[in-house]
Amino acid sequence: MPGPLSGVRVLELARILAGPWAGQVLADLGADVIKVERKGAGDDTRGWGPPFMPAADGGNLGAAYYHATNRGKRSIEIDFDSEEDRAIVKKLAAKSDILIENFKVGGLKKFGLDYDSMAKEFPKLIYCSVTGFGQTGPYAPRAGYDLLVQGMGGIMDVTGNPDGEPMRVGVPMVDIFTGTFSVIGILSALHEREKTGKGTHVDCSLIESQTSVLANQAMSYLASGVSPKRQGNSHPVVVPYQVFPVADGHIIIACGNDGQFGKLCGVLGEPGIAQEAKFKTNSDRVINRNELIERLIALTSKISRADILEKLEKVTVPAGPINSVADVFADPHVIARGMQLALPEDKAKNGTVPGVRSPITIGGRPMAAPTASPRLGQHTEEILREIGEA
């Protein structure tokens, strides 16, 4: 069955991660996403390896990184310096609902492919610009990279151990959030166009995305005037809610209310702790965090991981293991939910390319594009025929 965005065409003039992530989400939802790539080179991430995706002929199909964010698209090679090729881009835009680009601010103006130029020719086009710092402001001309913006956007200052260096999140979260917010903006603009008949400019930036997802940490600062700091795996305002050592490793215990805390103390063989005045409410526990955590660690350290997790699950106290990435894909629940994909690709070593599906399920249908990431220029002739150029 076609996806909910079947019939919607997206022209992707984007590379690396944030822009292509937006394109992949739209492809998962059923849109026809045409990825425009530099002739002879393609998306930079095609070479961001090892590891590379093995090909049937003994070579490779590009870096795993590239395949993480380009599923379900069609690829056409274009020389932006060629007037003839730029005309092809405009022909594609004329047949598209959405254009996604992540050039530096003003980078497409010299090609006549910037928003102002395109809006005049294609007033119904929804044009999404994904940049480091947005279309306005003193930093607008700068290039943006996930690591830089994690630092500038505050997340690194609240991530890591108190006595360690500021720490980046282990995945490019700023790029991923920006790509996801771009999709929200694009779909909202698409809905608005149904009422107005007009396209618009969606402006999404890494710095705004990162700032917006500071969430409770931002509000804590705005409410108190005190900038939050790194505190490892503990929660700033919920206790106990952190990593605990056990006899054979570590687990996570996350008590979100007083009832759960009482059950935890019972499992640990010390129900009286929950009745002590200094630990009775969450506010008390936050104030007396250090003493409480020291006492709880002394108890959890004596119990095996499997034993304590089983007991906590029986009394509905939220707790869980700390899985490796390999553990995640071996987890029975992740398997049951079908998160790992095997997409057909006759050039691949085993005839398929693995992937991780979108977390979106609509009407019982998991949203995942059925095709692997395209080879560079794989669909050039096909796409040119569709616009009468071949």
**Catalytic residue positions?**
175
> Rounded distance, CA 366 to CA 357, Å?
8
Cβ-Cβ contacts under 8 Å for 201 (sequence gap 6 or more): 115, 119, 127, 128, 129, 135
Nearest to 63 by CA among 41, 43, 45: 45
Local structure of residue 46 (DSSP, 8 states): G
Structure-token match 């977390």, residue found: 359
Interhelix angle 305-314/258-267, rounded to 10 degrees, is 130
If you write DSSP's letter for every residue of 51-111 in order, what string do you get?
SEEEBTTSSEEEEHHHHTS-TTEEEEEE-TT-HHHHHHHHHHHHT-SEEEE-PPTTTTGGG
Query: What ranges make up the beta strands (E) of 220-295?
Result: 241-246, 249-254
C-alpha of 282 from chain center: 32
Residues in the chain, total: 390
Structure-token match 């045409």, residue found: 34
